[in-house]
């Protein structure tokens, strides 16, 4: 999808570091998920592997921390929650998040 690529032909939507793997590993090991901050290893603004646009968004997120955002997509009616990737990698399986009741309430408002 060329609409998401930068001048270096990098898909910026896929270049942003993901904390989902860490969260899912914690779920598998029944650990408490720290859902309040991004782990430091994902916050390395000096990484040579980050595209400039990704680094800028990460810096902005650190300077202006927020706890809620919205993302609008056309097509199907769906609500995605942080850390809601299912561990079985199958469609139609509900994956509860650390703040599940809050996200369900927000999705219904």
What are the start-end ranges of the E strands in 1-109? none
Confidence at 9, pLDDT banded by 50, 70, 90: very high
Residue 42 has pLDDT above 70, yes or no: no
Distance of alpha carbon 69 from alpha carbon 80, whole angstroms: 11
Based on the structure, what is the number of domains in the chain? 1
C-beta of residue 76 within 8 angstroms of C-beta of residue 13? no
Tell me the whole-structure pTM to 2 decimals. Answer: 0.55
pLDDT tens digits, one per residue of 52-108: 998 888 888 878 877 777 777 677 777 777 766 666 767 777 777 777 888 889 888
Q: What integer pLDDT is reported at residue 7 of this predicted model?
A: 92
**95 Cβ neighbours under 8 A, 6+ residues apart:** 83, 84, 85, 86, 87
Q: Can you tell me the distance from the alpha carbon of 88 to that of 91, in angstroms, rounded to the nearest whole number?
A: 9
Q: Tokens representing 77? A: 């009616």
- Domain interval for residue 92: 2-108
Residue scoring higher pLDDT (90 or 33): 90
Q: Are 95 and 85 in contact (CB under 8 A)?
A: yes
Q: Taking 80 as the threshold, does the pLDDT of residue 27 lie above it?
A: no
More confident residue, 12 or 88: 12
* 3-state DSSP assignment of residue 50: coil
């Amino acid at each position: 999808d060329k609409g998401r690529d930068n001048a270096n032909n990098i898909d910026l939507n896929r270049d942003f570091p993901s904390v989902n793997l860490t969260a899912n590993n914690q779920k598998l090991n029944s650990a408490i998920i720290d859902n309040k901050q991004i782990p430091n290893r994902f916050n390395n603004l000096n990484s040579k592997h980050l595209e400039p646009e990704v680094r800028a968004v990460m810096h902005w997120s650190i300077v202006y921390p927020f706890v809620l955002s919205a993302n609008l997509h056309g097509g199907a009616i769906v609500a995605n929650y942080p850390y809601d990737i299912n561990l079985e990698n199958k469609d139609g399986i509900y994956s509860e998040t650390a703040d599940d009741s809050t996200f369900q309430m927000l999705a219904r408002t």
